[in-house]
Amino acid sequence: MFHHNSFYTIQGLGCLYSQSLRKIHHPTTSHFCSFSNTGNIMISETDARHLRHCIELARQAAQAGDGAFGSVLVDATGQVLKEDRNRTVTNSDVTLHPEFTLVKWAQDNLSPTERATSTVYTSGEHCPMCAAAHAYAGLGRIIYASSSEQLVQWKTESGVSLGPVAPLPINQVAPGILVGGPAPGLDEEIRELHRLCWSRKAA
């Protein structure tokens, strides 16, 4: 099927964005996206392996006293290029979210094509700061184990402040990014890590 539509040329990989366009222009092509932000996507075993690595990084962050978040940057062949965990507390820098650190590394070390064909796996869906940076740097798809919506729910249940930034989904900040998540089962592991952190702070 050919789309004579500039939106498809510019934003062809934007899953939700294309879905919304499809509702207007091509209501019969819903099979186009293999990933969506509905929580019902198929996560491959390879994806799950990278996500488990992110959770291990999140666990290390939590043990160090930082927020329980970890992320991995993977190239088009599946090779891990760079990984990091949250360091906002131990380095006293609010921008040291792992997703943001990966963007900065990718800018310095990857070509535009390499960035566009990469995947960022992350324990928790990007915050607006990281989603914007990811998009500005032209990085590829994002797969997360737990969503921002889940984080809000878990924080609310635990009586934890939601913070000063609106917890927008990635595609509300950057509609052109292909996203997948959450990953059933793995998201529960993240919830337990967060709960441990929050109960420690409250104690």
Interacting residues with Zn ion (CB under 5 A): 97, 127, 129-130
Nearer to Zn ion (CB atom), residue 21 or residue 173: 173
Nearer to Zn ion, 48 or 129 (CB): 129
Instruction: Determine the residue type at 79.
Output: Q
DSSP β-ladder status, 70-74 and 119-124: antiparallel
Nearer to Zn ion, 14 or 98 (CB): 98
The secondary structure of residue 42, as a DSSP letter, is P
* Minimum distance, C-beta of residue 86 to Zn ion, in the bound complex (Å): 9
Residue 57: CB minimum distance to Zn ion, A: 14
Task: Find the helix or strand (DSSP H, E) in which 180 lies.
Answer: strand 179-180
- C-beta of 82: minimal distance to Zn ion in Å? 16
Rounded to 5°, angle at Cα 71 from 65 and 72 = 140
**Residue keyed to tokens 């592991």:** 189
For Zn ion, the closer of residues 8 and 126 by Cβ is: 126
Which residue, among 191, 91, 184, 73, has the nearest Cα to 133 in the 3D structure?
A: 73
- Count of Cβ atoms closer than 10 Å to residue 92 Cβ: 8
C-alpha 29/C-alpha 67 separation (Å) is 40
Closest separation in Å from C-beta 30 to Zn ion: 30
Beta strand residue intervals within 36-173, DSSP E: 70-74, 80-85, 119-124, 141-146
Q: How far is the CB of 40 from Zn ion (least distance, A)?
A: 24
Residue 124 CB, nearest distance to Zn ion (Å)?
Answer: 8
Rounded Cα–Cα distance for residues 67 and 130 (Å) = 15
For Zn ion, give the closer residue by CB, 57 or 127: 127
Our CB check for Zn ion shows the closer of 21 and 194 to be 194
